[in-house]
Structure 1
Amino acid sequence: MAMRRLLLLVFALSLRCSLAAAEPTVELATGEWPPFVSQSLQQDGVFSQMVRQAFLRAGYQVHLNYLSWPKAEAMIRTGKAAAAFPYRPTQERETEFDFSAPFMRSTSYLFYYKPHMPHPPLQFKSLDELRGYRIAIQLGYWYIPLFQQHKLNTLLTNDEVHALRQLQLGHLDLAPMTLERGLYQIHSTMPEHEKEFGYIPTPLDKETPLTLMFSRTYPQVARIREEVARALEQMEKDGTLKAIYQRNFPEAMPPR
């Protein structure tokens, strides 16, 4: 009987080793950008969860290398990592890298504080309709020229958390943020007031695709890219991507 149990144990260990060997590890590069990806978040954030699932379905384990964004690009440029994420495809980047289909899309909205704005605009057709509101801005953000073009009443804030505090104090009316980023900042910095914030459902910009940016020199990268593409397509069809998103952002509407 003891010999039989020993043989079963040896068989189980051999099977585990065989399965591990059947799933080679792929190097990936990323950086801190919560809630999409961060070492401080459960399972490294929503985007990392999607990426891990796609590679697992494709037959790979992944190892995440947390770097600055310039170093992440350098790592895939030199073939030391198969891909970096999350990245937005641009014409400049497409000259030296390849991109996956989007794992998710991100859009910016205008957040407000409900106690100071019990009747916010439910929608708007033009930013001209928002001239009566005091709107937060931060230096370097894409929306500043747009707000200037429509002659909106803006006030410079230090960062997104400062903008949310100004909403809460009644010093500002609206604050533009990426939907997931705004929800994350509210939840992480002022959870006791989470239900007191809302956002106007009219988006400020078009949906921005967030993807894997693939190296062209990593070993067998073409094969990896094709297998991950098939896995990602399956995840889109069977609802896995949507389920991961909603598990991380149950309050985000519309779901994406």
Structure 2
Amino acid sequence: MGKKLLTLSGFCLFMLGFIQPAFAGRELHLVATNYPPFYADALPEQGGVAQVVKEAFKRQGYNASLKFYPFARAALLVKTGQADGIIGLWYRKEREQWAQYSAPIQPVQIVFYKRKDAPLSFSQLSELKPYTIGIGRGYANPPEIFAAGLTTEEGNSDEMNLKKLFLKRIDLVLIGHNLARYLIKKGPAEYNDAFEQVGQPIATEVFHLGVSLAVTDHQQLVTDFNQGLESMRSDGRLASILSQYPQVETTQAPVEKTRTEVHP
């Protein structure tokens, strides 16, 4: 009998060696705000940045699902622990109260867009005081915009801000470079030759995964994600996915420094 039990125990341990990886990490529920072409519900694989996050976790044994909400709603779900993390979080000190930041994933340049028929140019932000600038509601907009005393008008989405710019209800839109190109390409035909970037990028933000401090294993999740991300960086998979997002070639540094110094 003892020999049979020993044999059975050995068999169970042998089988456990095959089964264990499936349980190495729990199911993760992530959220994000539509921000094409980087991540959006309608994109293949939900976008390249979303693909990176899910693959990095998968390499560490987790299965991650992603749902999209307006930013304020997505942030609330993370703050309350109803979601494990949020994709694409830009660094702001105050957000450390409810999220732990991962290693950087992808930079995104923030630029101004105007109508092509508008004779508008600037070299300093203070020169934009006569104009109304469309910004995203709830976004972590560059603080220099407000420090310069510029007039802003919040919109529910970047699509809405571009529409308002087209209709001449605002003078400028503050928007991500790749996002603007995507929305113009996918928008109405009259958008094709209506807009252009004005000035140099004013900021370079960085996408992070923000893991909810309300979940008990947040530290382990960030550690595991960073390890998965680093393995993708080492074998070239990360560069392969993110190469689809070209950056603006600049002739000078952004008005606002890149936000990577706290979480390099």
TM-score, length-scaled by structure 1: 0.65
CA distance in 2, matches of 1:113, 1:68: 27
DSSP-derived class of the 2:162 partner: helix
Match of 2:176 in 1: 178
Within 1, Cα distance between the matches of 2:48 and 2:228? 17
Q: What is the deviation of 1:189? A: 0.8
Partners in 2 of 1:67 and 1:172 — Cα distance?
26
- Give structure 1 stretches of 5+ with no counterpart: 1-13
For residue 173 of structure 1, report the CA deviation from its aligned partner. Answer: 7.3
1:230, CA displacement in angstroms? 1.7
Q: What whole-Å deviation, never above 9, does each CA across 1:209-253 have from its counterpart, x for those lacking one?
A: 221111235354332321211222343455544432332x45x43
Alignment of structure 1 residues 151-230 onto 2, 5 Å: 159-166=160-167, 175-190=173-188, 194=192, 197-200=195-198, 202-204=200-202, 206-218=203-215, 220-230=217-227
Count of aligned residue pairs for this structure pair:
228
Separation in structure 2 between the aligned mates of residue 22 and residue 45 of structure 1, nearest angstrom:
26
**Alpha-carbon offset, residue 193 of structure 1:** 5.3
Is the CA contact 2:232–2:238 (under 8 Å) kept in the aligned structure 1? yes
Show CA shifts across 1:12-37 (max 9, x none): xx9xx959725644323314323143
Deviates more, 1:18-27 or 1:181-190: 18-27
**SS of aligned partner of 1:218:** coil
Q: In the alignment, residue 54 of structure 2 is paired with which amino acid?
A: R
Cα gap change, 1:162 to 1:70, in 2 (>3 Å):
closer
Closer/same/farther in 2, CA of residues 241 and 165 from structure 1, 3 Å limit: farther
Cα separation, 2, equivalents of 1:220 and 1:165: 46
RMSD: 4.3
Find the aligned partners of 1:130 and 1:23 in 2 and give their Cα distance: 53
The secondary structure found in structure 2 opposite 1:28 is: strand
Cα-to-partner distance string for 1:134-170 (whole Å, 9 max, x where unaligned): 775358685798489488xx89797322245247xxx
The percentage of counterpart residues that share the same residue type is 21
Whose helix fraction is larger, Structure 1's or Structure 2's? 1
1:103 and 1:138 map into 2 onto residues whose CA distance is 23
Structure 2, unaligned runs of 5 or more: 1-14, 251-257, 259-264
TM-score by length of 2: 0.63
Letter of the 2:220 partner, please give it: R
